[in-house]
Amino acid sequence: MNEKNKRQLYIFATALILIPAAGRLASGIILYLGIVFICLFGTLLQYLFEIFASNYAKSIYSIVIIIFLSSIFNQLVKLFSPLMNLYTDFSIYLVSFSVLIIKFVTLKSDETIAESLSRKFLLILKYTPLFFLIFILRDYFGYGTITFPGLSKIIEINLPYPNIFRNTFFYGSIPFAVILIAIIMASIERGIRIKNYFSLKSKEKDKK
């Protein structure tokens, strides 16, 4: 799989979480922790089961493990903050599909647990700024706040908020999330093409 196709799969995996999720940074923090939790323990359990599993059973075990860990993490969120669980309940299960995509794209045979974890977490870190940027923008444009998860309530920090955004449902809605993500993704893709163009020109100049 070439880099462009991999990048498109990463973008799809990210959008799968971002679009239906509640547009609050507090939700984004919980979902990000869910990705880290499932990737970490999913990889460890996968290597444990592979010792006993046949090649056919390995892929089935991977899916079962990831869904099982999603359920465990969902229960942990419910214990930590029932209110936050209302915001993230459905989206946590979408995280499991995103982790499956990450697993598929980063899959390599004959590697150690440390190597597998290193590659997965480097990929997660690479897309972390984009992940949180979209949640921050949705939180601000939709509600004029930056939020953080709390035990009994969402912790809100009110920010200066232009009147043009007030009393408007659109900025907190899924259609706005789709438009925002599309603009950011298109800008990233355009930036990569420009970078590749100048890199190619530079190589051609060096050959001369």
> Per residue in 77-102, pLDDT tens?
999 888 888 888 888 888 877 777 76
**Residue 17 pLDDT grade (very low, low, confident, very high; cuts 50, 70, 90):** confident
DSSP label of 172: G
Query: Cα dist. 129→132, 137, 185, 191 in Å?
Result: 5, 12, 13, 16
What pLDDT score does 56 carry? 58
pLDDT tops 60 at residue 151: yes
* CA distance linking residue 84 with residue 77, whole number of Å: 7
Average pLDDT over residues 123-137: 85
* CA distance linking residue 75 with residue 82, whole number of Å: 9
Burial (0-12, 13-18, 19+ Cβ within 10 Å), 144: middle
Q: What are the pLDDT digits (tens) for 180-207? A: 888 887 887 788 788 777 777 676 666 6
Supply the mean pLDDT for the chain. 79
Q: What is the SS3 assignment for 40?
A: helix
